[in-house]
Amino acid sequence: MQTTGERTPGERTPGVGRFWWEGARPLGADVTPLEALVFDLEALTDLDHDVHRLVFNAAFAAHRVPIAWSEARYRRLRVLRDERRRVLAELRNHCVGPECDVLIELLADEICSTKATMFDEMVLDVGATPRPGLDDLVGDAFAAGVPVAVVTAGRRAWVEPLVRQLVGEGQVETIVTRDDVTTPGVDAYRLALDELGVTNDRVVAVTGTTAGLRAATAAGLATILVGQHDAPRDEVAALAVRADYGGAEPLRLSACERLYARSTARRTAPAA
pLDDT tens-digit series, residues 175-188: 999 999 998 899 99
Do residue 188 and residue 226 come from a single domain?
yes
Which residues are CB-neighbours of 153 under 8 A, at least 6 positions away? 177, 178, 184, 185, 188
Provide the pLDDT for residue 81.
Answer: 82
Do residue 176 and residue 94 come from a single domain?
no
Cβ atoms 67, 229 nearer than 8 A: no
Do residue 160 and residue 136 come from a single domain?
yes
Length in residues, the chain = 272
The region of weakest confidence among 8-22, 171-185, 227-241, 251-265 is 8-22
Provide the pLDDT for residue 99.
Answer: 63
Do residue 205 and residue 170 come from a single domain?
yes
* Distance of alpha carbon 227 from alpha carbon 260, whole angstroms: 19
Do residue 40 and residue 171 come from a single domain?
yes
Provide the pLDDT for residue 101.
Answer: 74
pTM (2 decimals)?
0.83
- Residue 241: strand pairing partners: 225
β pairing state of 203-207 and 222-226: parallel
* Percent of the chain residues topping a pLDDT of 90: 69
Domain interval for residue 84: 48-122
Mean of pLDDT values over 134-140 = 98
Q: Is the pLDDT of residue 20 over 50?
A: no
Provide the pLDDT for residue 32.
Answer: 80
What is the number of structural domains in the chain?
A: 2
